[in-house]
Amino acid sequence: MKYVFKGILMFFTLTLFFSLVVHAEKNEQKQGESDEGTVVYHVKYDYDALSNFLGISLVEYREYWKKGLSIADMAKKQGISRHELIGYFCAFHYREMQKWRGEGPMTEKDYFDLVFRLSDEIDEFIDRNPNR
């Protein structure tokens, strides 16, 4: 009885495994066929909303920026953790990418490629200031 149970379990496991692999290959083929080009994801940040999130005025934001402070430095100065700051930008990008997906230019493949790179891009963005 043990061997019969093990055999049936092995059969269903292998069947499930191979059906998932075939399904993934079919989806990739469909996605590749519908690609018409590369989507360039570019957004414009609302610095008024960002300064509100940081708890400072837009004038203060611009002064700090001219002094060479990065967005991460401003957040730290205001007592906002890096985790909260990254969460703000993740939520912003999530809303923007959902708009792009709804309007049609962004495919599922484009979406997941962007999500994969988003963490590094947010880190780089909040740490940079060319005035340093």
State whether 81 and 117 are in the same domain: yes
Tell me if 114 is assigned to some domain: yes
- Confidence class for position 3, pLDDT limits 50, 70, 90: low
State whether 9 and 71 are in the same domain: no
What is the rounded average pLDDT for all residues in the chain? 77
Neighbours of 5 (CB within 10 A): 9
| Domain tally, the chain | 2
- The larger pLDDT score, comparing residue 23 to residue 39, is at 39
Tell me if 41 is assigned to some domain: no
State whether 123 and 71 are in the same domain: yes
Count of CA atoms in the C-beta half-sphere (13 A) of 18: 6
- The larger pLDDT score, comparing residue 78 to residue 106, is at 78
Range of the domain at 94: 47-127
Residue with tokens 């499930």: 16
Q: Which residues contact 115 (CB under 8 A, 6 or more apart)?
A: 97
State whether 58 and 93 are in the same domain: yes
State whether 112 and 82 are in the same domain: yes
State whether 64 and 95 are in the same domain: yes
Tell me if 39 is assigned to some domain: no
pLDDT in tens, 51-101: 999 999 999 999 999 999 999 999 999 999 999 999 999 999 888 888 877
